[in-house]
Every structure is written in structure tokens, then in C-alpha cells.
Amino acid sequence: MTKQFRTEIIAVGTELLLGQIANTNAQWMSEKLAAIGMNVFHHSVVGDNLQRVKEQFQHSKNRADVIIVTGGLGPTEDDLTREAFQKIVKRDIIEHRPSMEKIEAFYRKQKSKMTPNNRKQARVFTGADVIENNVGMAPGMIVSENDTTWIFLPGVPREMKQMMSDNVMPYLQQLTGESSVIKSTMLRFIGIGESQLEDELSDIIQNQSNPTIAPLAQSEGIAIRLTAKANTQEEATNLISKTKQQIQAKVGDHMYGADEQTIEENVFALLKAQNKHIGAAESLTGGMFTEKLIAVEGASKVCLGGLVCYDTNVKENVLHISPETIRQYGTVSDECAAEMSRNICTLLDSDIGISFTGAAGPDSVEGHPPGTVFIAVYDSSKVSIARKFTFQGSRQTIRKKATLKGFELLYNLLK
């Protein structure tokens, strides 16, 4: 029988209480903690006020065994987490040499002057397990005080996440002695809506409790989270694998990957495996497609570059779209998109060309209302595609949907 640890997450920061940001840190951590069977009973948010942070710590100590505190470790006057904690426990604060050296090295490298308040970030409690910050300045800390475990982490999500994944989660798993295995995987889909997905899978979803099946609508398509609990890793893997197969049998055509995989990584992998280079001619998307592809590590192996031909003159003079095409069909047309996708191959000497042209809004373009988008894919060795799409939403949403659709078309072409 493993001990149940009552867990609380405290976020320190007035910006949360003013509504400037949402407490997404608590969400992210809670999901991780749930996966190892920890019971999170409270989230608390308190502002940058010494007295109130102290009172919150005092109160939380009486109702939780593990308390994770984010924020208030930075260099400014407002950062009061250490001071508040010192008011409820007897711990000295000392300068952590390795952290201080890192901060100093950062400023040396930046060739900028380190202001004195930055020293504050290297201060830790005596007896604390110090957690190195690999992406920022202030280190984290684990402090065991009587029966309570306090974990202090920076509020910057990137820093908090790295420390949670690398240090805190392994520590907590050891602490709780959680013996049953929780395994979770995310299946990723494109080209299918949430309600259609739920509809197609309704039998499986209703008759299934381990793994649990949770569909999630995300900005980059739909995902399904499978979470299995078992006595061994192998058993959990088998449970997930079995359900994954059932899901694939129904909607496998739309499934492009798992876990943190993105559609652009998938397209990158397909291009690389097929030893093909791609170039993009982007009008309304303005470079978003190329930017996303180049964000993938090793992108140079598949992407030579791209042309943002936002202006008609650039389409004509650089991409050599024939004035006749533009006169007869306009720049927002099947014909122009198709020619763009062919010509970008010639210009960049690539195997595949993709093009985006349309009206992102707020104004219409050549009589086409915002949301009208033409996407073409030209593959020198296969058939070409040129299709019209109608997207809803803001200028930015339309541009994002068009980019995502481009990756979907490529994925379907290459897989």
C-alpha cells in the first residue's frame, strides 16, 4: 500500500490575480502529477505580497504533504517567495556558487553589465536540494521540512517544465513509491473534426475504461489521449497498443502520429525518407509554412527555402507567374496557385513545390471574401493538386488553417 500524498500547487504572482495570464503552469503540472497517481487537492494563487504569501504557505502546510510553489524567485523587488518561506521555517539563505557562476557567465557572454539584483536569483535555502536551471537563471529547490516536502520552481513555463521533467518527477516517483505503472500516449489526427472523430469511435469510447480515451481539440488538429494503468510497464503498453489498433481500424486514415509529434515533423520525416526537397511559394501565409518546416531540427536536409510573394510584382518578376494567368484568372485562383507551385520548383531547384494564395482578410482580394484560399502542390514525379478551401475566422486563424491544410495535403501525398 503506497502512501497517499496530498499535493498542492501554489502560484505566486500578481499578474495572475490581475488576469494578465492564466495559470497554465498549474494545469501542466497537474496533468503530470495525475499520471503518476498523485492527488492534487488544491491550486492556490497569491500575489506578490509578503504577508499573504506567508499566510498561504502557513495554511497550505496544514492541508498538504507535497507543496509545489511556482514563481517569485526572480531578481526583482516583487520576488518574495524565499522571504515568505523564511517567515514560516527556520532556514538560512545562502548564495549557491554554481548558480551564481552561471549568472555571471551569462552576462559576460552577453557582454552586458550584471545589475546587483541578479545576485538574488542564486540564493537558496541551507539544506535544500538545488535543481539546476538549464534554460534560465534562478535554480529550483526541494526542501523537506518536518512532514512536508516543498518544491520551489521558477514561474517561467519553459524553466518550470524542464525542472519538473528532469528532476521533480523522478524525485516524486521515488518519494511516493508508486508501484503501479501509468502509461499515457497521445494519438494525433488531421483532416477530421472532433465530433466526427467522437462519432466514429463512440462504441470504443463508451465500452472502454482502461486505457481511458479522451479526445482533445487542439489548435493543430485533434488528439486522443490514451491512459492505461497496470502492474507492469509491459501490461500497460499492451493495453494501449490494443486500443490504438481498434482506433486505427476506424479512423487510421486521419492519424498521422503520436505524442509530441507535429504534422510538420511528420512531413519532414517523409520528405527525408524519400530524399525529396521542397520549396514554398507563399502569398497570404506570408512565410508561415516555411517557418514551421524550418523549425524542425535538420530542416536543411529537406527544405531549400521559399519565396514570400505577397505582392503581385514579386509573383510576376521573381516567380515568373505569367501576366496572362494573372489577367485571366487573378492571383487568387486555381491556375495561379498551380503555376506558383510549379515555378517555385524551378526557382529553387526543388522536387516538390507548394503554394498558398488567397484572402486572409479583413479585406476581400479580387472579389474573393476573406477565407478563400487556394493551395497547390506540385510534385515532379507525381500528380499535382490545386484546391480551393474556405476557412472561417480572423486573419491570423485563416492563415494558420491554410498552413495546416498545406501540411495535410503534403502528408497525404507523401505517405
Q: Which of residues 308-337 bind its own copies (CB under 8 A)?
A: 308-311, 313-314, 317-318
Q: How far is the CB of 90 from its own copies (least distance, A)?
A: 25
Q: How far is the CB of 307 from its own copies (least distance, A)?
A: 6
What's the chain's Rg over C-alpha atoms? 26
For residues 118 to 157, the per-residue mask of contacts with its own copies, x marking binding by CB under 8 A and - elsewhere, is x----------------x--------------------x-
The strand pair at 385-390 and 372-379 is best described as antiparallel
Q: At what angle do helices 395-414 and 263-273 cross, to 10 degrees?
A: 30
Q: Map residue 1 onto helix, strand or coil.
A: coil
Range 222-251, binding its own copies (CB under 8 A): 225
Where does this chain touch its own copies (CB under 8 A) — which range of 31-39, 173-181, 250-258, 326-334?
A: 31-39
Q: Which listed residue (291, 316, 334, 366) binds its own copies by CB under 8 A? A: 291
Site membership for its own copies, residue 56 (CB under 8 A)? yes
Q: What is the dihedral of CA 40, 46, 52, 54, to 10 degrees?
A: 40
Site membership for its own copies, residue 273 (CB under 8 A)? no
Q: Which is nearer to its own copies, 102 or 128 (CB)?
A: 102
Range 170-199, binding its own copies (CB under 8 A): 193-196, 198-199
Q: How far is the CB of 385 from its own copies (least distance, A)?
A: 18
CA dist., res. 13 & res. 80, Å (int): 10
Range 72-111, binding its own copies (CB under 8 A): 74-78, 106, 109-110
Q: Which listed residue (181, 276, 322, 393) binds its own copies by CB under 8 A? A: 393
Site membership for its own copies, residue 30 (CB under 8 A)? yes
Q: Which listed residue (2, 4, 27, 233) binds its own copies by CB under 8 A? A: 27
Site membership for its own copies, residue 410 (CB under 8 A)? no
Q: Is the dihedral of CA 99, 101, 106, 111 positive or negative?
A: positive
Q: Grid coordinates standing for 389?
A: 478551401
Q: Which listed residue (100, 169, 294, 413) binds its own copies by CB under 8 A? A: 294
Residue 162, classified by CB atoms within 10 Å of its CB into exposed (0-12), middle (13-18) or buried (19+), is buried
Site membership for its own copies, residue 167 (CB under 8 A)? no
Q: Which is nearer to its own copies, 244 or 315 (CB)?
A: 315
Q: How far is the CB of 335 from its own copies (least distance, A)?
A: 20
Q: How far is the CB of 387 from its own copies (least distance, A)?
A: 12
Q: How far is the CB of 218 from its own copies (least distance, A)?
A: 9
CA dist., res. 68 & res. 94, Å (int): 21
Q: How far is the CB of 182 from its own copies (least distance, A)?
A: 11
Q: Which is nearer to its own copies, 42 or 91 (CB)?
A: 42
CA angle, 243 then 183 then 205, to 5°: 35
Report the 10 Å Cβ neighbour count for 245.
10
Range 338-377, binding its own copies (CB under 8 A): 347-349, 361-362
Q: Which is nearer to its own copies, 31 or 253 (CB)?
A: 31
Where does this chain touch its own copies (CB under 8 A) — which range of 238-246, 264-272, 280-288, 328-336?
A: 280-288
Helix ranges (H only) for 252-377 are 263-273, 288-294, 312-317, 323-329, 334-348
Q: Is the dihedral of CA 162, 166, 171, 177 positive or negative?
A: positive
Helix ranges (H only) for 151-298 are 157-163, 169-176, 194-200, 202-206, 233-251, 263-273, 288-294
Residue type, 268: F
Please state whether the peptide bond connecting residue 211 to the residue before it is cis, i.e. omega within 30 degrees of 0. Answer: yes
Q: Map residue 173 onto helix, strand or coil.
A: helix
